[in-house]
Structure 1
Amino acid sequence: MTVLDILKERGFIQQLTHEDEIIELFEKEKITFYIGFDPTADSLHVGHFLGMMVMAHMQKAGHRPVCLIGGGTTMVGDPSGKTDMRKMMTQEDIVYNGERFKKQMQRFIDFSEDKALLVNNADWLLKLNYIEFLRDIGAHFSVNRMLTAECFKQRLDKGLSFLEFNYMLMQAYDFLELNRQYNCIMQMGGDDQWSNILAGADLIRRKESKPAYGLTFTLLTTSDGRKMGKTEKGALWLDAEKTSPYTFYQYWRNIDDADVEKCLALLTFMPMDEVRKLGALKDKEINIAKKVLAFEVTKLIHGAEEAEKAQQAAEALFNGAGALDNVPTVSITSNMMGMKVLDVLAATKIVPSKSEGRRLIQQGGLYIGDTKVTDLDLTLTDDLFENKSLLVRKGKKNYHRIIVTL
């Protein structure tokens, strides 16, 4: 079984540029391929994790990944999947975010002994002469053809800037540059990158008169088509400072039943026989599969120790077993006693804002212990605490603990 068979079986692959050639290629050779990551934030998120899993499967099969940090392309902004122009970022922020990406990638990909490469397209894009670039690269692009690309079509009604229109040329040039420097012959990416990947493979064939290939993998969506990886605080980040291991664990523990088997296949390395067996569980038994999924994905991102802590915290809250030490905890000082509960929750970021907290209370979704909070003016008093500890629940399963320090 080739890695292409593995990726197909696990449900990764969406589109291939030259399927017969790629099948033959994977049967005979070990290749260098790349996936690009634009550092638009200071952490990778769960959508990026899907790409990292593809890279890991490829590397295990002996192929060499190139992780391309988009230090140059981020200065332009990818219009793919966006209804509005991305916010312009400073070069300093882009550099900082790129360094954060590098540290996180090293947890998933083995960069030792040239087994994988980590490069930044700022190294060549920021040095380009615009006129030379237009003559050398732009001459190979048809505007009419570009406008048929999905990433541009969906923006034409609201407005597509000339800045963003250049993104496809820059990404295609990345592929050409990586081909020349490292003999990289395949670009991979999410299915929203299909048009950009086609452009790069076509450019190499035109400029270098040799084959180049593209492969897209599925986007991480729920069974009803919604993008997966969104929490009440935004994206599901891979950085523990931005999304705690417990919150990360709970996200996967609480996904819809219909999504369990797909996530086990895409986001873990479990054998597919086990994945199918767990995915076939029904009714209450599917919770067994959800616990396995939550633990395995959290272990990959945050390590076995943090996964065990998150699991123990969940068991302590929902089954009454174990200590609460690993439940997400905030500290307050004794001088906050007497303040409104709503103000304390907003100050400790348990709720994003007072207005959100007010709405939560009005909708009957806030509990202290097992008691529903109905009074917007409820104050924080000693009798609410047990051993200087207070358990707050938002909705059915979102717990936080408040402790009082001196």
Structure 2
Amino acid sequence: MSDNIVNPEGLSAQQNDSSFANIWQELKWRGLVQVSTDEAELEKLLAGGPITYYCGFDPTAPSLHLGNLVQLLTMRRLQLAGHRPLALVGGSTGLVGDPRPTAERTMNTKETVGEWVGYLQGQVQRFLSFEGENSARMVNNLDWTAPMSAIDFLRDVGKHFRVGTMIKKEIVSSRLNSDEGISYAEFSYQVLQGMDYLELFRQYNCVLETGGSDQWGNLTSGTELVRKVEGKTVHALGTPLVTNSDGTKFGKSEGNAVWLDGTMTSPYAMYQFWLNTSDADVVDRLKIFTFMSRARIEELARAVEEAPHKREAQRALAYDVTSLIHGTDATDKAIAASAALFGQGDLTELDEATLKAATEQLPAAVVSPDSLGIIDLLVASELSKTKSEARRTVSEGGAYVNNVKVTDADAVVDSKDLLHGRYLVLRRGKRTLASVEVSAV
């Protein structure tokens, strides 16, 4: 897996917006409060001295995704307000998996989950500061669940949960009413997560858990357990699920999740994802996924209204978030690749990884070294349906190889013009692109 997630300017460059009375007010303005245990008490708590809070991430994949980024940035905002974060990567809860709305999760092996724990810990570390008075701490719930016997788990933890309450949880209820049903393992997930909160309260005096609002049942299982066992009041904050205004699911590109690991979602693809944000969604995305000030976001909101064709807000969003995840160098390369594809830059200056990422979604063809004639290339790449159509494209001045116009229908690409020794980018007209890979002799 890639170890390329970086904060380009350093965590020290990030700051909360001082125009808000307190961090709670900023969280609300940014649209990060969907539900909470006690809003007035939480605002008072977060406006006071440092508290310890936590958020959990389960290793159900080898990388975090954009949904997780909402939580990471929420954690960072609370840390910037002076509070102490506990980042929990669930070595034990990841072995079970929280219930999905539709079907049972596939259980991964202990070895796989253990490997993914390491990947996720490495990613989380790049979004929080592990230095200073309110430094973050990494925790793994396998540390306190692994030594516990099943009998102890049932006696010490399970006895505090009521089945009637558990089956009323939204996801559990939906699964119980489905053909799939729900296994005892996934049904017990909320008990495991509740135990996490109890353990972190005992060890670190943790008094706040954050998470997505779809996890509200799991979040409150912890607050209730602490209340029953310790007689103390602790809190939970549920952020809203980010949705697109057109009803499509946020965080998906070409039907696939947008991952934070650059080998799973390239910096180019990440940049393009944010660049394609609709006008109706871009301001909300700026609030949630950037540290831009209220004044700057309001300025960009005006730009959306007055000159939407310039896409200033989208470009600012794409640059900011891609830089946050992959660094400014990778982001600059992604922008250069996008420009070069359409003749506004030099394709030869792109490194191979960036070139491959930029052409990944294009129609592609593989040809032999003896098929480098422009007519054969246009047909092989399906930019032209027939050789006669290809000749017409060339004669009309609409054929380009690596952004160089080809005007001779008998032209043959020289092997020295291949990008990185084996790639070509073909263009018909201004916008129709294809990639070609030349196979080894």
Q: What TM-score bracket applies, with the shorter chain setting the length? A: 0.7 to 0.9
SS of equivalent to 1:87: coil
What residue identity is the alignment partner of 1:391?
Answer: V
Tell whether the 8 Å contact from 2:219 to 2:236 is kept in structure 1 after alignment.
yes
1:263 has 2:285 as partner:
yes
1:302-313 equivalences under 5 Å are 302-313=326-337
How has the CA–CA distance of structure 1 residues 144 and 186 changed in structure 2, closer, same or farther, with 3 Å as cutoff? same
The match for 1:96 is 115
How has the CA–CA distance of structure 1 residues 231 and 2 changed in structure 2, closer, same or farther, with 3 Å as cutoff? same
1:124 has 2:144 as partner:
yes
The match for 1:378 is none
| Alpha-carbon shift at residue 269 of structure 1 (Å) | 0.5
| Alpha-carbon shift at residue 276 of structure 1 (Å) | 2.1
| Alpha-carbon shift at residue 232 of structure 1 (Å) | 2.4
Whole-angstrom distance in 1 between the partners of 2:438 and 2:60 = 35
| Alpha-carbon shift at residue 171 of structure 1 (Å) | 0.2
What residue identity is the alignment partner of 1:209?
Answer: G
The match for 2:276 is 254
SS of equivalent to 2:129: coil
What residue identity is the alignment partner of 1:163?
Answer: A
| Alpha-carbon shift at residue 60 of structure 1 (Å) | 0.6
Tell whether the 8 Å contact from 1:279 to 1:286 is kept in structure 2 after alignment.
no
The match for 1:48 is 68
The match for 2:49 is 29
1:388 to 401, 413, 418: 418
Tell whether the 8 Å contact from 1:172 to 1:203 is kept in structure 2 after alignment.
yes
How has the CA–CA distance of structure 1 residues 383 and 19 changed in structure 2, closer, same or farther, with 3 Å as cutoff? same
What's the Cα RMSD here? Answer: 3.3
The match for 1:329 is 355
1:82 to 101, 104, 111: 101
Tell whether the 8 Å contact from 2:279 to 2:308 is kept in structure 1 after alignment.
no
How has the CA–CA distance of structure 1 residues 236 and 383 changed in structure 2, closer, same or farther, with 3 Å as cutoff? same
What residue identity is the alignment partner of 2:334?
Answer: A
The match for 2:339 is 315
1:154 has 2:174 as partner:
yes
What are the ranges of 5 or more consecutive residues in structure 2 without an aligned counterpart? 1-20, 373-380, 386-396, 401-410
What residue identity is the alignment partner of 2:242?
Answer: L
1:112 has 2:138 as partner:
no
Whole-angstrom distance in 1 between the partners of 2:39 and 2:196 = 23
Per-residue CA deviations over 1:123-161 (Å, capped at 9, x if unaligned) read 111222112211222122111111111111121113111
What residue identity is the alignment partner of 2:156?
Answer: D
SS of equivalent to 1:13: coil
What residue identity is the alignment partner of 1:24?
Answer: K
1:287 to 303, 311, 314: 311
| Alpha-carbon shift at residue 179 of structure 1 (Å) | 0.5
**Residue correspondences, number:** 373
Per-residue CA deviations over 1:214-269 (Å, capped at 9, x if unaligned) read 00112222113432111227211111111111111011111222111011111111
Larger Rg: 2
Whole-angstrom distance in 2 between the partners of 1:268 and 1:201 = 30
| Alpha-carbon shift at residue 312 of structure 1 (Å) | 1.8
Tell whether the 8 Å contact from 1:329 to 1:401 is kept in structure 2 after alignment.
no
The alignment-based identity, stated in percent, is 38
What residue identity is the alignment partner of 2:425?
Answer: L
1:219 has 2:241 as partner:
yes
Taking structure 2 as the reference length, what is the TM-score of the superposition? 0.77
The match for 1:188 is 210
Taking structure 1 as the reference length, what is the TM-score of the superposition? 0.83
